[in-house]
Amino acid sequence: MWHNLCVHTAKLAICLILASCSGSPALQPAPQTAVSEPYRVQVGDQLAVRLFLTPELNEEVTVRPDGRISTQLAASIEAAGRTPEDVARSLRAAYEPELKDPQIVVEVKSYAPVLVDVAGEVNAPGELSSAGQAPTLLAAIARAGGVRLSGDLYRVLIVRRGAGNRPVVLSTRYQDALSGHDPAANVTLAPFDVVVVPKTGVAEAYVWVNQHIQQFVPVSWGFSYNVTPVVAPKP
C-alpha cells in the first residue's frame, strides 16, 4: 500500500513538473546518509542475545512487525529503530529483577531485506532487495537496468516516507553522480524509497503526438518519391 501511494505521488509530482512553464518546482534535495552512522535494528532482523555469566539464557529472536522482541525474561522490548547497544541496555534493565548484574550483548545475527522501488524510464522497473542497508542512487538504477533513452537524467526523484507516513518527494542530482562530477550526489537510499525516472520533454511530446495525432492521421516525417517507370513506345 505504501509503495502504491508513493508511486502515485511521484507520478503526480512528475505531472506538475512537466506542466510547469516556469521550470521545475522547488523540491527538497535528498540528504546524503553518513556512512559512519550506527546501524539501527529493523523489523525482520534476527538478533542474538548473549549473557556472559548465564549462557543458558542465550537465545536468538526475530524483531516482530510491531518492532518489538520477546525473550525468556522480557515479554516485550522495543527494538526497531534502535541500535543493538540500546536494545541491550533495555534488556539489562528488564533482567535485573531476576539476575544480579546481567551482562548482556545484542548482535545482529541476520539482516532483514531492505526494499526499494525503481519506477519510470528504466529498463527493468520493480522492487529491489538489499541485505542490511539500502543501495545508493546509482546502484539502484543500475540494478534496474539503467535509464532508457527516453529518461530524463536531470529530474530523477525520490519518494520517501515522511512524518506520519506521508510521502515526501525529494530531488536528486543523478546526472552529477553518474558523470562523477559530484560523488556526494550519489545519495544512499532509505528503506521503502521509490526512485522515479521521468520521461524527457522530447519523449513526452512524442507520446502526446502519438496519442492525439498519429493514431488518427498518419504523419510522414520524411520524403518519399513515387517513381513511375517509363515504357518505351513500340516500333
DSSP 36-101: TSPP---TT-EEEEEESS-GGG-EEEE--TTSEE--SS-S-EE-TTS-HHHHHHHHHHHHTTTSSS
Tell me what pLDDT residue 18 has.
Answer: 44
Q: Which residues make up the CATH 3.10.560.10 domain(s) of the chain?
A: 2-21+113-214
* CA–CA gap between residue 205 and residue 210 (Å, rounded): 9
Kindly give the confidence (pLDDT) of every residue in the chain, 235 residues in length, as a single tens digit, with 9 standing for 90 and above. Answer: 555 555 555 555 555 444 443 444 567 777 765 455 788 898 899 999 999 999 999 999 999 999 999 999 999 999 998 999 999 999 999 999 999 989 999 999 999 888 999 999 999 999 999 877 789 999 999 999 999 999 999 999 999 987 777 888 899 999 999 999 998 899 999 888 999 999 988 777 767 666 666 555 554 444 444 444 545 555 5
**Is 2-21+113-214 CATH 3.10.560.10?**
yes
- Res 87: pLDDT: 97
Model confidence, pTM = 0.61
Residue ranges matching CATH 3.30.1950.10 in the chain? 46-110
Grid coordinates representing 154 are: 536531470
Q: Is 46-110 a CATH 3.30.1950.10 domain? A: yes
Looking at residue 9, its pLDDT comes to 52
**pLDDT at site 212:** 61
